[in-house]
Amino acid sequence: MDRALEIDVTTQLLDLMASPSMAVGDEMTELPVAVYTDPDRFAREQQHLFAGLPLLAGLSGELPAPGDWKLFEPPGTSLLLVRGDDGVVRGFRNACRHRGAPVVEEPSGSNRSFTCPYHSWTYNRSGELVGVPQAETFPGLCRETRGLAAVSVTERAGTLWVLPTSQGEPFDLDTHLGPFDAELRRWNLGDLHYFDRRVHRIAANWKLAVDTFTEGYHIPNLHQNTINMFAANGLLLANSFGRHHRQAVAMRCLTDSTEGPTETWTGFDDGGIGFVYLIFPNTILLFFGDHAELFQVFPDGIDRSVTVQSLYSYDPIETEDQRIILETALDFFHEIVAMQDYRMAAGVQRLIASGANETYLLGQCEAITQSLHRDWAAATG
């Protein structure tokens, strides 16, 4: 990781551990419970957040070689991302141009071409229509205009971004990222190797799912027998980069990695710091030691959501021992999120209908939660 960032964050976390405080902001605010249930609000979120903004579709390590592909499925659509023979990642709507069937149905793979399972219309890695069975029954068919419908993709510094409503034209990623662009580049994301993914499906509004990643206040309580066995009671630093945010979470072992001079500190490599990024509007990127995890949260109805959890390794994945270690790490955090964080999110959603609360209270320890809700509201009008 970026050495200057590691030293700066380590110094601040050591000070925080010496004088503990959960506060990461100055305000307390009330949040109407209707943000999780209002159908008009939900419709605006679909339009302005999940259709109108660039979304982080994954990391470059998912598509390392020509022919590698993945599905990216924000609300209401299915998009096929493919690395072409020229090394460029392109995006297409995953709908055959004959009768609209999905061209691929698995989450990822590697292909020389793509054949629709319905009638075997075939497309190459550039989305061009190259095969039509019984082509003579389609007189006058213009293959050049029947390629897969394009959607815009930008690959930058190891990340893949998609604008779901686009048609292949360039989009403004610079404005969306702002100062966060430089922060992402600290992590050499292009060096990460994709391992595997898990999927969470929960009965909770998508914002409740994201909320669980936005503060450390719950760690000593909800995670007392899991994460808090390693974490320093939820103590963290919070920094904002426009609408994107960083949390640096202190682990109990941080002091063991900082006993010598500053230049010898190895807090991050030794597991003394965890970094959690909130990437607007719906993504969480977590760094811990030798791996990273990506959480992409999508609505699946007003009171349901889907989270795709993916794990990446900085080291090439070459041995069975490595795979066992990475699978253990992925399953460990998947179970914590599913059985603890998302269990609470679903419980909150279920009890909204009881009428017990008209508002929820967000304290100084939940400043990033406050910021995200303000930005979601501002972006949706």
Give me the average pLDDT of each 10-residue run along the chain (381 residues).
93 97 97 98 98 97 98 97 98 98 98 98 98 98 98 98 95 97 97 98 98 98 97 98 98 91 91 97 95 98 98 97 97 98 98 96 98 98 89
**Strands 68-72 vs 231-241: parallel, antiparallel or unpaired:** unpaired
pTM: 0.96
Q: Which residue has the tokens 């601040």?
A: 12
Please give the C-alpha separations between residue 98 and each of 104, 114, 136, in angstroms, as whole numbers: 14, 14, 15
- CB-CB contact of 368 with 244 (8 Å): no
Q: What is the pLDDT of residue 259?
A: 84
> Which residues have a Cβ under 8 Å from the Cβ of 319 and sit 6 or more positions away?
none
- CB-CB contact of 41 with 380 (8 Å): yes
Q: Which residue has the tokens 């993504």?
A: 283
- CB-CB contact of 326 with 320 (8 Å): no
Q: Which two tokens stand for residue 98?
A: 């004959």
CA-to-CA distance for 69 and 194, rounded, in angstroms?
Answer: 13
Q: What is the pLDDT of residue 257?
A: 84
Please give the C-alpha separations between residue 181 and each of 68, 122, 175, in angstroms, as whole numbers: 26, 38, 10
